[in-house]
A and B are shown apart, each in its own frame.
Chain A
């Protein structure tokens, strides 16, 4: 490499950093920096009225899984916490499955429309996607409530005699999350299916494959990166959901996001809240890591 070229590379690198610097400053101040403070707080001692006392302690992390007996100080499993974790994971997985079951046919339908109609259908998926999450949660809340649209309709057609109590159950949270996150599943699936070469279907059918076989052996393997992308895009916000379980689940059906809030606002155990936040972050990071590896595999045929 000539000195001139080296000089050019160095300058290019310096310009890259300089141009990115303002963005990095904002992100450090209001995104990454504060996360480090949360890690620090998870190792401190809770103050009497919230906040922390600056004494090192593992208690924040220990109390994720265990509670200390008030009388003899022995540690026991914190069942209430485990229930909340399990509910969070279960509901997030169920949401992912439900959105995939509905989202895949929807994405396929959109991608196989004629070009002009396709833009319109895609626009119809995009509008809810950009619509305020709170408004959509509120909208589904109105449908699900006892005197809401769903119960009124079901009673009118005589399927049920009395309103079903869906609100403030796990089912309500599941329906709500599937409702608000469906576009997140459809959009990456659509992107994958849109790139799909339809001539492969022709080839499949020419070789006497049934529709099911074509779906199973041609379509699904090829659009797999889209499936993984959509699943992660739904799973990650579901796991950290706060608004939807708060509105639809009520106080009893907390998910981990609400549990974290509780530690900071009412529970007054900031170190536990901080430790829970970091734990949630780690789980999400693992999910995203799986996502990048799977996406990488999709790009490399030998992977």
Chain B
């Protein structure tokens, strides 16, 4: 059966292009990873295997500080974005359409539509004014900015999960005299769990990857890993950047794999 379908669906040359596309997608990434183990100073000439760039990066205070800052911002922003996105998802799905619902929907998805550079300069202007007025220079601005553009990424999987959920379970709970809160706590929330975790993970990865908005919003000395790397690219690049990239890459792959395994088991 599978064989027959496969045959019908074959289009000449498509498989070749597809395989080539995968090769082109992965060769640069593998090259990048390979050269993080280069013994020499070059990111193009191989001179033997070494872990020196990893130990160098590890010993580099700026890298360490940027790593911690990235993780603090990403987890705070992910938690904040997922919390408000969960509430909004419950507020905008599975109820009779109400006035302004489309407006809410557009507002939540707005960060997906506005080019990052536009949001970046907008935040630079506004947070610049606030920074001057209040004197507060902390990470709060970055966390708030990240939370805002993470909201749609957290919202979409949660909403999808909600829409696929069986309403009758909650009706059953209500029939058994569960209060709305009990119903939410013991029926809706557990069923929604995988959606919430998926949303939080997306938000975390999106925040961790951000360069443009961070670059414009950060105060002096608030480099995250990506903005630190961007700064390094202006100078002569050493394999240290490859080593940091490789570590970030591994983190993403680990998170994604966990995410896929998690959603598959519970689905």
Contacts and interface: CB of A to CB of B under 8 A. Distances in A.
Interface of A is mostly: helix
B99 A13 contact: yes
A143 B113 CA distance: 31
Interface residues of B, number: 89
Interface in B199-234: 205, 208-209, 211-212, 216, 226, 229-230, 233
Contacts of A145: 44
A26 B125 CA distance: 17
A108 B264 CA distance: 24
Interface of B is mostly: helix
Given A20-B104, A179-B24, A9 B98 contact: yes
Interface stretch (B2-10, B47-55, B59-67, B166-174): B2-10
Given A32-B107, A136-B29, A37 B125 contact: yes
Contact of A27 (B28, B116, B151): B151
Interface string A191-215: 0000000100110010000010001
A133 B117 CA distance: 14
B79 interface: no
Interface string B8-19: 111111110111
A23 B117 contact: no
A30 B216 CA distance: 13
B80 interface: yes
A218 B109 CA distance: 33
B155 interface: yes
Contacts of B83: 22
A38 interface: yes
A23 B252 contact: no
B192 to A, nearest CB: 13
A31 B8 contact: no
Contacts of B14: 105, 108-109
Interface in A11-42: 12-13, 15-20, 22-24, 26-27, 29-35, 37-38, 41
Given A9-B96, A22-B83, A280-B115, A134 B144 contact: no
Interface in A247-294: 247, 257, 260-261, 264, 270, 273-274, 277-278, 280-281, 284-285, 288
A30 B19 CA distance: 42
B12 to A, nearest CB: 6
Interface in B134-176: 144-145, 147-149, 151, 155
Given A33-B126, A236-B115, A239-B115, A140 B87 contact: no
B121 A264 contact: yes
Contact of A133 (B98, B211, B233, B253): B211
A257 B111 CA distance: 16
B15 A109 contact: yes
B199 to A, nearest CB: 12
Given A16-B98, A23-B85, A135-B245, A112 B252 contact: no
Given A30-B144, A37-B122, A240-B117, A142 B226 contact: no
B71 interface: no
Contacts of A128: 25-26, 29
Contacts of A79: none
Given A147-B45, A211-B11, A288 B118 contact: no
B115 A281 contact: yes
A132 B43 CA distance: 19
Contact of B252 (A131, A143, A240, A274): A131
B178 interface: no
B248 interface: yes
Nearest to B98: A13
B191 interface: no
Contacts of A24: 88, 104, 107-108
Contacts of A121: 22
Contacts of A131: 29, 209, 249, 252
Interface string A137-149: 0111011010111
Contacts of B267: none
A280 B108 contact: no
Given A24-B104, A26-B144, A105-B14, A139 B29 contact: yes
Those 10 A-B pairs whose CB atoms lie nearest each other, nearest first:
A240-B115, A19-B91, A109-B18, A13-B98, A34-B122, A30-B148, A139-B28, A105-B14, A105-B17, A23-B84
Interface of A: 9, 12-13, 15-20, 22-24, 26-27, 29-35, 37-38, 41, 102-103, 105-106, 108-110, 112, 114, 121, 123-128, 130-136, 138-140, 142-143, 145, 147-149, 179, 182, 198, 201-202, 205, 211, 215, 236-237, 239-240, 242-243, 247, 257, 260-261, 264, 270, 273-274, 277-278, 280-281, 284-285, 288
